[in-house]
Amino acid sequence: MAASGVHVENYGTIGMEMTRGTPRLLYGITYGDGYLYRLNLETGDIKMIAQTGKGYADGIIRNFAVDTNGNAYVPMRGASAGDIRIYKYNNTTGTWAYTGKSYTDNFFVAGNEPDKSGWVLHVYTKAADMVYFIAYDGKVYRFTFATESLQYVGVLEANPNPRVSDLILSEDEQHLYALVFRYAGINQNKFVDFVIPTGQATTIDSNIATYGPRDLIFGGLAKDKLGHAYMVGWLYDNTSVTNIALFKINVEATPMLALRKVGGQVALAWNLGALQNADNVSGPWNNVTNATSPMLVQPSSPRKFFRLKY
């Protein structure tokens, strides 16, 4: 293991984000007073930018976002506990300023847990042009980097403070999947499907008893391209090494491509992904332009192959 640079002295890091562009930049937020710093991984240079938090009594920043240009967006507490304002460090000009975008977090308006501030979790789109985040009061927002626009999308789970441990975005970017944890134990954990276009949230599964004697499922949520989500769970107050278990749940339909003959044509129907065709099974494969399911195609000589890309 090699050192990449000098860390901020006497401050532990509670949050980190890395740019996808060049140069490679690593941003960190320190615990407590929330000092934002930037580490250039190519040169090893480190820069202190701003104090973003207000300490244990008035707000600790845990999450922030970075766009592809290396600009950092940090949610900070404003004039009151429920006033959350998004600040920006402009990587090009080296300036730190308020974006003018803010939202009210009703969890803090109720006077709960004053040490928290900002948002609970966030996830980037595949293009990294937007970020979805969950506020402490359970509301979901979308922030677009290029325009610095902030949009309210809906409620994942109403007050108070849903303990959302993980968040993933579906392959088609139409759903957010969240694991909501509660200390009460068995049957208090929920796997939630939040539909982005409608802002509606539904519980996929809440009866974890079917997964064995593990009353806490908390963390490790990840999704593969076949629509399965994976998470870890354990039994409270059990220190055995055999206590940890890995669980799987279906969160999306299995991709399927169906073909049937309709007169002298072939009808294709699919539920996920982009339709592709090729003259040979080895390719090259090309996207079918303006393809929507179902679709009729005329058989071509000598053969034509179809598949889904997702």
What CATH number is attached to the domain comprising 112?
A: 2.120.10.30
146 and 66 co-located in one domain:
yes
Cα–Cα distance, 105 to 173 (Å, whole number): 25
233 and 301 co-located in one domain:
no
Higher pLDDT, 308 or 99: 99
Q: Single out the residue in 157, 192, 207 at which a domain terminates.
A: 157
Cα–Cα distance, 146 to 69 (Å, whole number): 10
Only one residue has tokens 């179809």, namely: 306
Our count of domains for the chain comes to 3
Cα–Cα distance, 28 to 200 (Å, whole number): 33
154 contacts 194 by C-beta, under 8 angstroms? yes
**Residues above pLDDT 70, as percent of the chain:** 79
Q: What per-residue confidence (pLDDT) applies to 275?
A: 87
97 and 208 co-located in one domain:
no
35 contacts 52 by C-beta, under 8 angstroms? yes
Cα–Cα distance, 76 to 54 (Å, whole number): 9
Render pLDDT for 144-157 as a digit per residue (tens, 0 to 9): 999 999 999 999 88
287 contacts 274 by C-beta, under 8 angstroms? yes
Predicted confidence band of residue 273 (pLDDT cuts 50, 70, 90): confident
205 and 147 co-located in one domain:
no
153 and 222 co-located in one domain:
no
Sign of the dihedral through C-alpha 40, 41, 42, 43 = positive
171 and 42 co-located in one domain:
no
243 and 283 co-located in one domain:
no
170 and 224 co-located in one domain:
yes
7 and 114 co-located in one domain:
yes
Cα–Cα distance, 120 to 143 (Å, whole number): 15
Q: Single out the residue in 207, 224, 253 at which a domain terminates.
A: 253
Higher pLDDT, 120 or 110: 120
242 and 266 co-located in one domain:
no
Q: Is the pLDDT of residue 175 over 80?
A: yes
Cα-based distances in Å from 182 to 28, 38, 100, 243, 309: 29, 35, 35, 19, 37
Domain of 267, in residue numbers: 257-309
184 and 247 co-located in one domain:
yes
11 and 101 co-located in one domain:
yes
Q: Is the pLDDT of residue 249 over 80?
A: no
Q: Single out the residue in 253, 271, 286 at which a domain terminates.
A: 253
